[in-house]
Amino acid sequence: MTTTTPFPEGFLWGGATAANQLEGAYNEGGKGLSIQDIMPRGISGPPSAEPTEDNLKLVGIDHYHRYAEDIALFGEMGFKTYRFSIAWSRIFPNGDDAEPNEEGLAFYDRLLDECEKYGIEPLVTISHYETPLNLAKKYDGWVSRDMIGFFEKYVRTIFGRYGKRVKYWLTFNEINAVLHAPLMSGGILTPKEQLSKQDLYQAVHHELVASSLATKIAREMMPEAKIGCMVIAVPFYPLTPAPADALAAQKADHENLAFGDVHVRGEYPGYLLRQLKEMGVELNITDEDRALLKEHTVDFVSFSYYMSSTQTADASKIPSNGNLIMGAPNPTLEASEWGWQIDPVGLRIVMNQFWERWQKPLFIVENGLGAKDELVEVDGVKTVVDDYRIAYLNDHLVQVGEAIKDGVEVWGYTTWGCIDLVSASTAQLSKRYGFVYVDRNDDGTGTLDRFKKKSFDWYKNVIRTNGGSLTA
């Protein structure tokens, strides 16, 4: 019996990770320190002065030494693509070094060798929340225009090294997160509460210019490559039918859409210009900046989707919490153990919104359920019976299929944390996303052994059937 599926032939199924959350080896192979090495609590606590043993990211899941084993597991699942990031401080340990670190470059050569062994197309994030610490200390990260030059040198180095092997590139991970997490996203050491709006939005501008510059360089050095932006996607619903709530939801939407608008349309949208003016922010934008933004727009839009949110004009109904995206709880939705509301239909909504707005191919590069998993024995084999994860992913992928039927062009889908890794927001390992369980605990104990979860075979079958095994 043949199964019909809306997913196009050649759809890129896979998984996604970030160097700082799984590689470990924070001081091996010539690597310099990144901001993550002094963020032992993620964004849920203050940075430390130096790397401390309680920072799980210093070891991660030891992917730096076990990458071949891990990619073999991805190959066994049938991954068509693997999204990973390059650690900037592995390539330029201080960010402003005269020459790149050959040991760091060679590590990613070996990683790509393993991907090629299993026919896995690499999807590389250039900057995924891992600004070299030296640049944060010396320049306050992206607040300084000097960062553009350091980023250009890094980009030219990795394009020159890997350009013949990597077709798909992303510039900055979740670039709109800089508004909520300036240190993690922008390498800005000035505490958020002390950071002026002027400096924050100037940092945003520098990143946007650097992203366009990377796009320009990619087209010069790798004409066959495809380069995309990456944003957090959160559809905002009005909490009530009140027009004031609908307007509040639109304003919250605009905060996220602005970054895509600049990447795709090449200029700042009017609603953002108004907001900047009302905040008293006057950006330093050069003619060269304007030309770069306008002439070098992205080939595709990639995004993370974990939840929707609601907005209301009544500020008393919006709780203060540690999430990147603030909003009022939606009374119609259930939530994960970390309070992220589960909304598969929201994924279809945001895909239609992005496609209609930008008419650029989409790539879902993060989606998944962070949950506390329990390692158990089933028929003498250690595993995790994660039916909750299977249900979450199934329901979201069904909605991706619906969006494709709606006419949305989608290139691929990579689940977040396809192997357990350290959480970005809380720096815990107990917040697990993977198809592969890694034996490491929040206190740092564990063997680091890998075990396939029930979802491993489920996803393998989804890929094998090109989505035909999904159940509505």
Structure tokens at 23: 């590689």
Q: CA 294, CA 266: separation in Å to the nearest integer?
A: 4
User: Active site residue: 130, 207, 366, 402, which one?
Assistant: 366
Contacts of 301 (CB under 8 A, 6+ apart): 228, 229, 231, 260, 263, 264, 354, 358, 360, 361, 362, 363
The Cα–Cα gap between 297 and 213 comes to 10
**Rounded-to-integer distance, Cα 264 and Cα 328, Å:** 30
For residue 3 the two structure tokens come to: 């199964």
Residue 23 known to be catalytic: no
Of the candidates 114, 130, 174, 207, the residue annotated as catalytic is: 174
How far apart (Å, rounded) are the C-alpha atoms in residues 176 and 185?
8
**Residue 103 known to be catalytic:** no
Q: What is the 3-state secondary structure (H, E, C) of 168-210?
A: EEEEECCHHHHHCCHHHHHCCCCCHHHCCHHHHHHHHHHHHHH
- Asked if residue 310 lies in contact with residue 248, where contact means CB atoms within 8 angstroms, the answer is no
Read out DSSP for 76-111? HHT-SEEEEE--HHHHSTTSS-SS--HHHHHHHHHH
Catalytic amino acids? 174, 366
